[in-house]
């Protein structure tokens, strides 16, 4: 199982990160299967970072084998979505960026890819018009709407499949809107798509 993630896919987040460059293609990175955190299990703050941040994202699950998928057929390659957290060691990421080094230690460490309960996209209506949000300790800390994506889901699937064979169960994190921030011990994270709470776990 592979986990893909798209960086810089919301203009609002790019602004808060002070990223002014415009990519002509999706910015892709990957996380290994050991990054997966699911079933409401707690996230243990790692000891190598002083600034682990949440990034709330829509996540799609691939449901068939595919390579060189045309964008117009990409809808056939996923039928479940959820909300997830792309945990990021922001201090390490900043350092790696400054040094021009890869991001994996900041983005792809163990349990850095939290996912909620997957639901059928038939239940949600258009995947490109979904409100999603994160609450920490009962307060909304980040919210967005998937229509704000620079590269929509089907464009991302098509792009990923030019380079990587997609397999059943592969996941794609589709990027985060503005409002990222730190987590701390004892935080209670709850993620929603519209009014459905799909993600619910604690930081320890």
Q: Which residues of the chain form contacts with Mg ion (CB under 5 A)?
A: 55, 86, 176
Q: Which is nearer to Mg ion, 13 or 121 (CB)?
A: 13
Q: Do residues 186 and 21 make contact, with C-beta atoms less than 8 angstroms apart? A: no
Length of the chain: 204
Please compute, for residue 155, the number of CA atoms within 13 A of its CA located in the half-sphere on the CB side: 13
Q: Which is nearer to Mg ion, 80 or 86 (CB)?
A: 86
Q: Which is nearer to Mg ion, 77 or 87 (CB)?
A: 87
Rounded least distance, CB 19 to Mg ion, Å? 12
Residue nearest to Mg ion according to CB distances in the complex = 86
Cα first-last separation, the chain: 26
Q: Which is nearer to Mg ion, 34 or 125 (CB)?
A: 34
Q: Do residues 137 and 188 make contact, with C-beta atoms less than 8 angstroms apart? A: yes
Buried b / exposed e over 164-200, threshold 16 CB at 10 Å, is eebeeebbbbbbbbbbbeebeeebebbbbbeebebbe
Name the one residue in this structure whose structure tokens are 């089907």: 154
Q: Which is nearer to Mg ion, 10 or 201 (CB)?
A: 10
Rounded least distance, CB 13 to Mg ion, Å? 8
Rounded least distance, CB 73 to Mg ion, Å? 26
Rounded least distance, CB 4 to Mg ion, Å? 11
Strand-pair partners of 197: 192
Rounded least distance, CB 60 to Mg ion, Å? 14
């Amino acid at each position: 199982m592979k986990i893909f993630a798209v960086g810089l896919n919301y203009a609002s987040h790019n602004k808060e990160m002070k990223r002014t460059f415009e990519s002509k293609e999706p910015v892709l990175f990957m996380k290994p299967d050991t990054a997966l955190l699911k079933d409401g299990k707690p996230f243990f703050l790692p000891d190598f970072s002083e600034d682990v941040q949440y990034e709330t994202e829509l996540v799609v699950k691939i449901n068939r084998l595919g390579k060189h998928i045309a964008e117009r057929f990409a809808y056939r390659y996923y039928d479940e979505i959820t909300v997830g957290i792309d945990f990021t060691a922001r201090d390490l990421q900043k350092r790696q960026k400054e040094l021009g080094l890869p991001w994996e230690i900041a983005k792809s460490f163990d349990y850095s890819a939290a996912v909620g309960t997957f639901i059928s996209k038939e239940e949600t209506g258009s995947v490109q018009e979904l409100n999603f949000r994160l609450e920490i300790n009962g307060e909304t800390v980040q919210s967005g709407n998937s229509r704000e994506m620079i590269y929509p889901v089907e464009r991302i699937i098509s792009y990923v499949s030019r380079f990587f064979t997609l397999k059943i169960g592969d996941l794609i994190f589709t990027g985060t809107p503005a409002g990222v921030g730190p987590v701390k011990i004892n935080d209670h994270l709850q993620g929603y798509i519209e009014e459905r709470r799909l993600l619910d776990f604690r930081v320890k």
